[in-house]
Copies of this chain bind each other. A is one copy, B any other.
């Protein structure tokens, strides 16, 4: 009962705060006495804080308001991708407190070494968290492949060459850690740290060495029966196309993944420089990749029917050159049947979308179930 009411009040503060106790009572249907007690508990636990005087809605009476506090609880978001590691720290108000990225070719390392490097990055961030006086509610690791959140393992990440790696066991951090697919988390990152709920139902595409997508429907991630939904990179573009690391052939990844876009040795910023100089070869490469992306997205729209499509990952810096051919293909193939062809927009969550979504999903969990952070206050882990 108390756990549910604490979550009610915290959720109301999250969505609509700062709020007076009277407005909280209105919004939750609880009595003012109950609300005052619960707010007291939340303030004592460092999850909420007095916010000074505000006008109280329609009646215009000034009152003392309460809002979420970013001073005590935070969450750690981590990412292992093919060519980098990332960590970020987000507090309860979803303010981004720390971000760290570490470029490394994880394909050349055994999983245990890549994970040891991530532990080192995470430990640095945890030390900063301690300095900031923040206690960490938990961590989520974003991984480029289908994961099993129950075991903390990644089933198969073909672009890393990983198979059944028990990531959370090997990572062995002194706090609760789970794993999730990076494309899922990047979509949630866009929901919480990017364009947000104004997108309606949206498909967020993460262009990396692999291409993943996360579908957000009514503010929730569509995960599928086994958590493997949204594998846009393995949508078949041409059935007899080049073989793919997934075991199939002609997958989108082979036409529009990072390796297809960057000829050997070229970096992403090299490519952007050439595109800005209207280098014909670079423009053609993006037009071909964008057209293939448009074909896969035509299929995705036929199956998912989203309001909006958000392009993130490497497609964000390449947006002007990738999105035009993709949008044209989408329009040409869909406009007769669909009264409203989804628009393509560039991700606002940036390159840290996945670790931000990872940290955000821990914060979401704290807001949905704050009781553990009130009954037995967390101690700051000393890494």
Contacts and interface: CB of A to CB of B under 8 A. Distances in A.
Contacts of A206: none
A304 interface: yes
A174 to B, nearest CB: 31
A207 interface: no
A151 B213 CA distance: 33
B335 A224 contact: no
Interface residues of A, number: 49
A279 to B, nearest CB: 26
A228 B338 contact: yes
Interface of A: 146, 155-156, 158, 200-201, 213, 217, 222-232, 234-239, 246-249, 295-296, 298-300, 302-307, 332-340
Contact of A247 (B232, B296, B337): B337
Nearest to A302: B231
Q: What 4 pairs across the A-B complex have the smallest Cβ distances?
A: A224-B305, A247-B336, A248-B333, A231-B302
A340 B337 CA distance: 34
Contacts of A337: 146, 156, 158, 228, 231, 234, 246-247
B248 A334 contact: yes
Given A158-B337, A248-B334, A337-B247, A307 B225 contact: yes
Given A155-B339, A158-B337, A337-B246, A303 B232 contact: yes
B302 A239 contact: no
Contact of A305 (B227, B302, B305): B227
Contacts of A200: 225
Most chain B Cβ neighbours within 10 Å, of A201, A227, A248, A296: A248
A224 B238 contact: no
B303 A229 contact: yes
A299 B158 CA distance: 18
Contact of A304 (B156, B224, B234, B334): B224
Contacts of A247: 332-337
A235 B235 CA distance: 10
Nearest to A164: B339
B298 A236 contact: yes
Contacts of A232: 302-303
A255 to B, nearest CB: 10
Most chain B Cβ neighbours within 10 Å, of A200, A298, A299: A299
A156 B336 contact: yes
A302 B213 CA distance: 10
A39 B340 CA distance: 47
